[in-house]
Structure 1
Amino acid sequence: MLPDITLRTKASKLTAVTTAVALAMAPMSAGLAQEKGPPVIRDTEAEQLLRDYTRPILRAAGLEKQNIQVVIINDGAFNAFVADGRRIFVNYGAVMQSETPNQLIGVLAHETGHLAGGHLAKMREEMSRAQTQMIIAMLLGAGAMVAGSRGGNSNGGLANAGAAAVAGPQEMIRRSLISYVRQQEENADRAGVKFLTATGQSAKGMYDTFKRFADESLFAAHGADPYLQSHPMPADRVAALEEIARSSPYWDKKDDPALQMRHDMVRAKISAFMERQDTVYRRYPMSNESLPSRYAHAITTYLHGDLRSALAQIDGLIQLQPSNPYFYELRGQALLEGGKPVEAIAPLRRAVQLSNNAPLIDMLLGQALVATENKAYTEEAIGILRAAVARESEAPLGYSQLAMAYGRKGDFAEADLASAQAAFLRGDNKTARELATRAKTRFAVGTPGWVKADDIVAAKPMPGQNSK
C-alpha cells in the first residue's frame, strides 16, 4: 500500500547504524531538522514483516507486553535507532540493504538490547550528571579568569589557568560520556546475540552487517582517536561481536526460505515505490522472472501510468498466489489511483478479508467507497473507517476519508472533527485548532464529540511537530 509514499526525498548516502544514545549526542542541526517530524512510510506488508522479525526477540527480552512498535522511516541510508523507549525506528534503506532476514533481524536485536538495558533513561541520567559537572567546572574556571583579570597583567598566568580549568574538565567529561556510549553499544551487541540465541536464530547476520560497516569505515577511521568515537572502534567492536556470535550453536543456521521470500518481496516493493524507474529495472531486469522481480515490475508499471499493463501483471501475480492479500491490495490501489474506484472495491474487499481486516487496507477500501461519490456507500464507508481509526489511530488517511464521508452525509460536526484529527496527525496544528474550534460549536457541550474537539484545541503539538 505505502499510502504515505508521496514523500519521495532523495536518499542520504551516509551509512551508519545509529542508536538512541548516539542520537542523544547529535549536533544541534539534527534537532532542528526534526522539527516537522520524521517522514514515515506506512505499509501493511512491510510492517507485518518487521513485527514478525521483532516479536520473538521482544519476547526473549521480556518486552513482549510493552507494545513496542517498529516504524519505517523514509530514508535510504542504512539506519536503525530507538528514541523514546516504545518504538524502534528503521530506515527503509536498512531493509533494502539487508540481503537476508537474518541481517535485519540482527540489527533489530541490537536495538532491542538498548531498550532492554534501559539505555535511554540511563543516558539521560548520565548527561544530566555530566551537565552538572560541566557547569561547576565552568563556574570554577570563570572565577579563576575573573581573579586573574583583576590582578592585571602580572596575573595573566592565573587567567590562563582559569581558561584551562574551563576547557580541561569539559574535555574529560565529554570523553567520559563517549566512553559510556561505547559501553552501551557493546552491551547492546551482547544482549542482541543473547536474544537471537534464545530464539534459535543465528547472530551471523548481525556480525556480517557490522563487519561490512567496519570495512567501509576503515579509511575514514584511520588515525582517529578511539576515545572520541561515539561507538567502539570498528575493528575492536567487530572482533568482540564475532567472538560471542560464533559461540552460539545457531551460528550456521540459515533463514527459512519462506521468510527469505517475504523479505525479498518487501525489498522489491520498497524499491518499486521509492526508487527511480531505471533503478528498479537495473535491480530487477525484465529477464528476471522471479516473483519479487515481477512484483517490482507490476508496481512500477502502475506508478508510471500504464494501468492496463499493470493490471495484467498483477492478475498474473494473483494467479500464482491467490491467497496473497497484498496482490489484491495492489490491484485495488492501482484501480483507485487510476480513476476507477468502483472497480477497486472488489479487490480491496478481498484484501481486507485475507489480511484479517488490516486497518491500513480498510482505510484504502473506505477511500474507494468514498471516491465513488455514491451515497449508497456512505454508511458502509463510515463504519469501515471508524473501525480502522479505532485500531490505527495515527494514520491521517483514515480521518481525512472519514471527514469526506461525514460531509457527504451532511454530518458537519463529525466532518469537522475528523478533519481536525487528520490535520493534527499531519502536524498542521493551526488548521487542526481552527477546525476543532468550529466543531465545538456544532456539538452539544459535554458530548463525546465536543470533548474530543476541545482536546485538540487545548493539545500541545505531538513530538516533532510545529506549534504554528
Structure 2
Amino acid sequence: MQNHPKFRAWRTRVAAAALMLTVALGALARPAEAQGLSFIRDTEIEDLLSDYAQPIFRAAGLGTGRIAMRIIRHEAFNAFVLDGRNVFIHTGALQVSETPNQVIGVIAHEAGHIANAHLSDLRSKIAADPTRGFLSQFLFVGVMLSQIRGNELVADQAGLRYLNATKQSGRGMIETFERFAQEESFSLQRTPQSLFARTHPFAADRVTQLRSRAQASPFWDTRDPPALQLRHDMMRAKISGYLDRPQIVFNRYPQSDQSLPARYGRAIGTFFGSGVERAIPLVDALIKDQPNNPYFHELKADFLMRSGRAREAVPLLRRSAQLAGANAPLITVRLAQAMVTAEDPNLDETINLARKSLIQDPNPQAYRILANAYYKQNKLPEADLATAEALFLEGDLKQAQIFAKRAQPRLKNGSPNWIRAGDIVNFKISG
C-alpha cells in the first residue's frame, strides 16, 4: 500500500508542508540546521515504538502493520495524526517521557482519534488547500488532530479502554495530561488566546475526568517490564546524544552514572564533542558487554561513516544487519550506502541490498543508491527511473517527471519499469 501513488502523493504533501524531509538511514539523524521540521528514521527507536503501538492498535480494531509510527524532530511534547495510517510523535515527547507507559498512553489517545474517525474534517481541509500553509500550521504550532473539543475527550476515553484491554495502566496517560496542564498554565499566562486553548479542552479538566476511571482499573498499579524500561531509557539516551549539545548530554549522563543508557548517551556525545578516536573505545566497551546488540555495531559504523571511513564500516553494518534480522531495512540501506561510498566493486550486491530494503520501506536514499549503481553498470534508463523515484518521494514532482520522461522511451514497452515511469510522468496532485 505504501507503494501506491496516492499514498506517495500524501507523503509528498506532508514533506512540502514540513518544508524539509530528512531521512537518516541507520543511526539516528543529526540533521543540519534547516528551517522547518524534519522526520527522523532509526531502526532501534522505530522498533521500540512499534512494540509499544501494535497491542494498542489491535485493541482498537486497527489491525497490525496498517499504521506506522513517524518521528518528528521537535522539542515540544506532542503527538498527532493526519490520516488513518500514521501516528506522528515528537522527539520531545520521547525524551521527556520517563516510562514506556507514558508514551503508550499518548499512542492510545491517538489510536482513539483514528478508531473514532476524527479525521474526515482534516482530510477535507488538506484536499481543499494543497498549499503548505494549512499543514504547516498544524505541524509547527503542535496542534493535535481534532478541532472539536469533544473529540479529544472521546479519544481520551477510548485510549483508556485500549490500555485496559492490553492490561496496561492508565497512569502514564494521566501523568502526560498533568504535564500538559503545567505547560498549558504557563502558555496561557503568555498567550491567553493560544490556538491550543481554542481547540483543546483544558488539560486539568481532562485529568479530573479521567483519573477516577483510570484508577478504578485493575491494572492501575501495573508497571512496565524492566527490559522494556531499559529499551526506553536507551532510546532517550540515543536521542539526547544525537540531538543535544555534548555538554547537555554529559550533564544529563555524568561519568558517575555507569548504567548502560548513560554510557550509550556519553559515547554519542563524545563523538560529536571530541571526535571518532575518543568515541570508538566507548562503543567498543558497549559491544564487549553486549556483542549481539545490533545497534552498538551500527553506532560504531555510523561514527566511522561520518568520519570518512566507510570501508571500515562495511563489516560492522553486515554484522548489525545479521543481528537485527529481516525487519531492518534501514540498516540494509546503510550497508549499501557504505559499500557505494567505499567504492566496493560488488555492484550487484549493492543493488540487491537496496532493492531488498525497498520491499519493506520505500525511501529516497535506497533509490539514489540504486541510481548510482545502475549508472556505474551503464544501465542508464534504470538509473534515471531510480532517480525519478527518489525525487518523487522527496516531493520534487517536477524533477521526478523530467527523469521519468527521459527513462520511459528507453525501457521495454509494457514492462513494470516502463509502467512505473508512466505513472510518475502522468501523476497529478488533486485538489
TM category (shorter chain) comes to 0.7 to 0.9
Residue number among 177, 188, 191 corresponding to 2:158 in the alignment: 191
Q: Which residue of 2 aligns with 1:435?
A: 403
Decide whether aligned partners of structure 1 residues 389 and 123 sit closer, same or farther in structure 2, where only a CA change above 3 A counts.
closer
CA deviation vs aligned residue, 1:387-425 (integer Å, no higher than 9, x gap): 1112111x1111111111111222111111111111111
How is 1:39-118 mapped onto 2 (pairs within 5 angstroms)?
A: 39-65=38-64, 67-118=66-117
With structure 1 as the length reference, what TM-score do the two structures score?
0.77
Query: For 1:428 and 1:127, how far apart are their aligned partners in 2?
Result: 19
Tell me if structure 2 keeps the 8 A contact 1:404–1:415: yes
Q: Which residue of 1 aligns with 2:370?
A: 402
Return the letter of the residue paired with 1:335.
L
Q: Which residue of 2 aligns with 1:364?
A: 334
Return the letter of the residue paired with 1:73.
I
Residue number among 214, 219, 223 corresponding to 1:250 in the alignment: 219
SS state of the match for residue 119, structure 1?
coil
CA RMSD of aligned residues (A): 2.8
Tell me if structure 1 keeps the 8 A contact 2:79–2:93: yes
Return the letter of the residue paired with 2:107.
L
Task: Give 1:384 shift.
Answer: 0.9
Tell me if structure 2 keeps the 8 A contact 1:66–1:86: no
Q: Which residue of 1 aligns with 2:137?
A: none
Q: Which residue of 2 aligns with 1:448?
A: 416
Query: For 2:193 and 2:413, how far apart are their aligned partners in 1?
Result: 64
Query: For 2:278 and 2:290, how far apart are their aligned partners in 1?
Result: 19
User: In the comparison of the two structures, how many residue pairs are matched?
Assistant: 386
Decide whether aligned partners of structure 1 residues 379 and 323 sit closer, same or farther in structure 2, where only a CA change above 3 A counts.
same
Query: For 2:124 and 2:401, how far apart are their aligned partners in 1?
Result: 36
Q: Note if 1:235 corresponds to 2:234.
A: no
Query: For 2:73 and 2:65, how far apart are their aligned partners in 1?
Result: 25
Q: Note if 1:268 corresponds to 2:249.
A: no
Q: Note if 1:6 corresponds to 2:6.
A: no
Tell me if structure 2 keeps the 8 A contact 1:432–1:456: yes
Task: Give 1:233 shift.
Answer: 2.5
Q: Which residue of 2 aligns with 1:389?
A: 358
Tell me if structure 2 keeps the 8 A contact 1:106–1:192: yes
Decide whether aligned partners of structure 1 residues 122 and 277 sit closer, same or farther in structure 2, where only a CA change above 3 A counts.
same
Return the letter of the residue paired with 2:198.
Q
- Unmatched tracts of structure 1, length 5 or more: 11-32, 129-177, 464-468
Q: Which of 1 and 2 has higher RCO (CA within 8 Å, sep 6+)?
A: 2
How is 1:12-411 mapped onto 2 (pairs within 5 angstroms)?
A: 39-65=38-64, 67-121=66-120, 181-218=148-185, 220-221=187-188, 229-304=198-273, 306-357=275-326, 358-375=328-345, 377-393=346-362, 395-411=363-379
SS state of the match for residue 148, structure 2?
helix
With structure 2 as the length reference, what TM-score do the two structures score?
0.83
Query: For 1:411 and 1:49, how far apart are their aligned partners in 2?
Result: 39
Tell me if structure 1 keeps the 8 A contact 2:27–2:302: no
Instruction: Tell me which structure has the larger Cα radius of gyration.
Output: 1
Task: Give 1:302 shift.
Answer: 2.8
Task: Give 1:448 shift.
Answer: 2.0
Tell me if structure 2 keeps the 8 A contact 1:81–1:90: yes
SS state of the match for residue 88, structure 2?
strand
- Unmatched tracts of structure 2, length 5 or more: 1-25, 128-144
SS state of the match for residue 119, structure 2?
helix
CA deviation vs aligned residue, 1:323-381 (integer Å, no higher than 9, x gap): 11111111122222222222211111111111113100000011111122132x21111
Decide whether aligned partners of structure 1 residues 60 and 343 sit closer, same or farther in structure 2, where only a CA change above 3 A counts.
same
Query: For 1:91 and 1:228, how far apart are their aligned partners in 2?
Result: 20
Query: For 2:334 and 2:282, how far apart are their aligned partners in 1?
Result: 21
Task: Give 1:87 shift.
Answer: 0.7
Query: For 1:384 and 1:196, how far apart are their aligned partners in 2?
Result: 39
